[in-house]
Amino acid sequence: MTGPTDLPTLPDARFAGLLAEAKALQDQTVELRRKLHRHPEQGLDLPLSQAAIVAALDGLPLEIQLGKASTSVTAVLSGGKPGRSILLRGDMDALPLQEDTGLEFASELDGTMHACGHDTHVAMLASAAKLLSAHVEELSGSIVFMFQPGEEGYHGARHMIHEGVLDAAGSRVERAFGLHIYNEARSGVVRTRPGPIMASADSFAIWVTGKGGHGSAPHQAIDPVPAAAEMVGALQTMITRRVSVFEPAVVTVTRIAAGTTTNIIPERAELEGTIRTMSEKTRALVRAEIPKLCEAIGTAHGCRVAVEITPGYPVTVNNDEVAEHVLSLAGEVLGVRNAEEMADPVMGAEDFSYVLQRVPGAFAFLGGRPADVDPADAAPNHSNRVVFDEDAMASGVAMYAAFALDALR
């Protein structure tokens, strides 16, 4: 006699109860997430978020350290037996955005919103700390819980590294794991890949200076606008002619400004934009080519050109072995249908890259798209209308816990 063949694979025996333990904490996970969502904070100074995290961890057998350069929280759980240490990370800052979700727990602060899911990351990591505290005697080693502010462009991970988060347990962490919720996958799916998973992100500003004049007599002026316009197209051509087609690279001009009215040729035009690459080699090439290209175009138009490139986050590179192991763990904990290897990296950037430059580890995505939302209609991260399925958080809690239990048993 045979049974149905379309049933999802059951979790592996060694993690059979882990998802149930995570679900048992769901009310607390949701409560903390919604508290943070109502009171979002931006940047490196997040006192309300820090206080909420400390309160959520109260009573657990953790050694807690508060940041000095930022309102970070580092919590260390020391196992019942000696061994190596590992790190689990959740970021905690919000975005400068006016929320339009209509949620009952929507942001109460005008112009600030948890539009990237960092509130869910904190809530999942706090519940993972609770779950793992109940297993402390089973652990051979220590867990560093890294609650990090300032991911959205403020280099918060680097601040925490400088303050010693990687050595918070008394020795350098040997493995690191981070999760990020997003709506590109159905709720509860874990996705990752070996190697590069997210791009580097640098920004550029270009100032083109000519000679102002009357709009009716351009021959008496040196118009910076045509030069700036030519640069926009030339930057795209540069990518296709100077960068290998097998090396992903994006240069996007996102802002152009010049002039004040219809009959004045301005003295200056300004361009700003972003650079995204998937390798440090390509990153260096693009950063070197942009000034050369724009200065040459400016010279052809008789304009002076100044280019400033502001370094952002490096490429986020997963350790091959750890990434493959995370996928294996996801299959064991959540069932194989909820573990997916990504075919391509994401061109967004992430400052967990600073951790992965120093520690073998992996970054993964957690699907959070609500079941009743068509993929084509799902609002993406950084949208003022993004909504995540809170049930996905139990899967994230279980994954954090599984990574730690597997590494320290």
Active site residue 390: yes
Q: Report which residue type is found at 291.
A: P
Among 313, 332, 340, 354, the one annotated catalytic: 313
Active site residue 350: no
Could you tell me if residue 82 is left (phi over 0), alpha (psi between -120 and 50 degrees) or otherwise beta?
beta
* Phi, psi angle pair for 220, to nearest 5°: -90, -5
Among 63, 174, 289, 390, the one annotated catalytic: 390
Write b or e for each residue in 51-66: b if 16 or more Cβ atoms lie within 10 A of its Cβ, otherwise e. ebbeebbeebebeebe
Which 3-state string (H, E, C) describes the chain? CCCCCCCCCCCCHHHCCHHHHHHHCHHHHHHHHHHHHHCCCCCCCCHHHHHHHHHHHCCCCCEEEECCCCCCEEEEEECCEEEEEEEEEEECCCECCCCCCCCCCCCCCCCCECCCCHHHHHHHHHHHHHHHHCCHHHCEEEEEEEEECCCCCCCHHHHHHHCCHHHCCCCCCCEEEEEEEEEEEECCCEEECCEEEECEEEEEEEEEECECEECCCHHHCECHHHHHHHHHHHHHHHHHHHCCCCCCEEEEEEEEEECCCCCEECCEEEEEEEEEECCHHHHHHHHHHHHHHHHHHHHHCCCEEEEEEECCCCCEEECHHHHHHHHHHHHHHHCHHHEEECCCCECCCCCCHHHHHHCCEEEEEEEEECCCCCHHHCCCCCCCCCCCCCCHHHHHHHHHHHHHHHHCC
* Phi, psi angle pair for 64, to nearest 5°: -110, 135
Active centre residues (catalytic):
313, 390
